[in-house]
Amino acid sequence: MARPVGAITRGTTGHNRLRRADRWTAAVHGPLLRRASRPLVVDLGYGASHTTTLELFTRLRRVAPDVEVVGVEIDPARVALARPYEHEGLSFRLGGFELPVERPPTLVRAFNVLRQYGEADAWHYWELLRGKLAPGGVLVEGTCSETGHRAVWVGLDRDGPRTLTFSARFDAFERPSDLADRLPKTLIHRNVPGERIHAFLRDFDHAWAVSAPYGAHGLRQRWLAAVGVLAGSWPIPRHPPLGGRARWRLGEVTLPWSAVG
């Protein structure tokens, strides 16, 4: 076997750490998985425990009962620890960005994997992974906090990045720009004046501030009001599956990558 492509991550993981991204993935890309013939999902770089891969499998099976999930890790010891938890539709393999699977995946999740790389490498691995997707397939790449209470991820297809999603528990930040430390490597160093991602976070903070009176009814109502203000000047989807109150109530906001990329 050729040497896996990539470097070993810290492996930090935990129960429900990726619940926010999984919930979004199931809602937004569930139809894609149901339409696909033999849908394959790869969880790339799942870490020191099989936990988040198993949770992804369980959540996706609810919306696509025939989905197959393969956890891929570059550390042989982590793969060995996960193997006892394999069962029908769920398996674990040694590998990296080369994706050691028999057919192109319909969906790839790569969370907290590219954080250790530079911006140029992040763009390179995005391109590499996109090229391995099945037609119509998607890559969900992002970063979250240790608890998973703050997360940012990008949705990509074979042609490039398409969406950027911010997600947080309402008590996990003081202002929306606190999520800047979870931006993808392709954006995190561009959060400076003159860049569009900086302008978006600045406007989000302003919308959060002017919506403070809604906090009397709870932080969820303040978030909903802030997103409504923000949608007046930014192209935030207002309807499912990417937008609308049902998604915003969860502490999410998605916008087209073209608005900030």
Mean pLDDT for back-to-back runs of 10 residues, the chain (261 residues): 83 91 98 97 96 98 98 96 97 97 98 94 97 98 96 98 98 98 96 98 98 98 98 97 97 98 89
Question: What is the distance of C-alpha 201 from the center of its chain?
Answer: 18
**Unique residue bearing structure tokens 């394999």:** 86
First-residue to last-residue Cα distance in the chain: 37
CB 143 within 8 A of CB 184: yes
Q: What is the pLDDT of residue 228?
A: 97
Q: What is the pLDDT of residue 8?
A: 86
Q: Which of 55, 44, 48, 58 has its CA nearest to residue 81?
A: 48
Global pTM value: 0.96
What b/e string do you get for 35-53 counting C-beta neighbours within 10 Å, with b at 16 or more?
A: ebeebbbbbbbbbbbbbbb
Q: What is the pLDDT of residue 14?
A: 87
Q: What is the pLDDT of residue 1?
A: 58
CATH assignment of 19-259, among 3.30.70.1400, 3.40.50.2000, 3.40.720.10, 3.40.50.150: 3.40.50.150
* Other C-beta atoms lying within 10 Å of the C-beta of residue 214: 17
Q: What is the pLDDT of residue 100?
A: 96
Tell me the C-alpha distance between 99 and 215, whole Å. 46
Q: What is the pLDDT of residue 135?
A: 97
- Report long-range pairs for 157-162 (Cβ below 8 Å, ≥24 apart): 157/130, 157/133, 158/130, 158/131, 158/133, 159/130, 160/126, 160/130, 160/257, 161/126, 161/186, 161/257, 161/261, 162/256, 162/257
Strands 252-256 and 160-168: antiparallel
CB 155 within 8 A of CB 138: yes
DSSP track, 228-258? HHHTTTS----STTT-SHHHHTTTEEEEEGG
Strands 150-157 and 160-168: antiparallel
Q: What is the pLDDT of residue 37?
A: 94
Tell me the C-alpha distance between 107 and 136, whole Å. 9
Token digits of residue 193: 């004046």
